[in-house]
Structure 1
């Protein structure tokens, strides 16, 4: 694959989690989250998005979100559970994306706010229609998805390189 090929990064915020006695890292999904996570997978499948690689935070709620989302895709992508996605800053998220192999065309990150929203906003130098306004007004709720396209190598991903081409929330 050429480094100048069009690429897609899909950002999925974990579904709604319970507030429990568990540590933050081990919080499970709430009932609503267990309903919304498969809906996110159905939306991805319906949009024709099948990532080549999924990077998922190691937190229980992100792993459970991905476990419920992935079976709805026509093909399950290679999945890597990445500790650095938990509580990652914007800079840390960009660093993880920059490490992606150029063999990957479509990358999906399953992570947390405020990072997922910050990354979607930072990468989106342009947007289709009112998507950027809609995304920023909504605050990127749980189980939301943002799809950003760009041309070039993953190493070139930085602020403003992409175009927000889709945004979805389960409450829509």
Structure 2
């Protein structure tokens, strides 16, 4: 596959988690999260997003979010549960993108804030209409999705390389 093909990065923040007594890593989804995660999946399906690969944090709330969202997609992508996504910094997330095989055109990340918001903001060198200011005003709430496009190899992903082409949140 040519490295000059258009690529898409889809960032999904986990749905609303419960503040139970478990460790942070083992926090389950709250009732609202269990309602919002399938909505996120339906939005992805309606937008025609069928990722080639999904990287999902190993935290319980991200795994539950993805399990509920992926059932709404027309086909199930390969999913890798990636420990490094839990509490990942912006630099660590970009490093994960840089490791992605160029056989992957559409990559979906299921992760946490502040990382998902920071990554979307850092990669978006430009955006369609008012998407970037709207995303930044919202603070990238739970179950929010940002879709960015860029051309080139995953090894070239860096600040400003992408175009924010869609932003969605279940609670406007």
Q: Structure 1-normalised TM-score?
A: 1.00
Give the Cα–Cα distance (whole angstroms) in 2 for the partners of residues 52 and 71 of structure 1. Answer: 15
- Give the RMSD, CA atoms, in angstroms: 0.3
1:43 aligns with 2:43: yes
**Which residue of 1 is the match for residue 5 of structure 2?**
5
Give the Cα–Cα distance (whole angstroms) in 2 for the partners of residues 107 and 56 of structure 1. Answer: 11
- Determine helix, strand or coil for the equivalent of 2:71: helix
Give the Cα–Cα distance (whole angstroms) in 2 for the partners of residues 19 and 69 of structure 1. Answer: 21
Deviation at 1:77, TM superposition (A): 0.3
Q: Structure 2-normalised TM-score?
A: 1.00
Pairwise mapping of residues 14-93 of structure 1 onto structure 2 (< 5 A)? 14-93=14-93
**Which residue of 2 is the match for residue 147 of structure 1?**
147
Alignment length (residue pairs): 172
**Which residue of 1 is the match for residue 159 of structure 2?**
159
Deviation at 1:69, TM superposition (A): 0.2
Q: Is there any run of 5+ residues in structure 1 with no aligned partner, and where? A: none
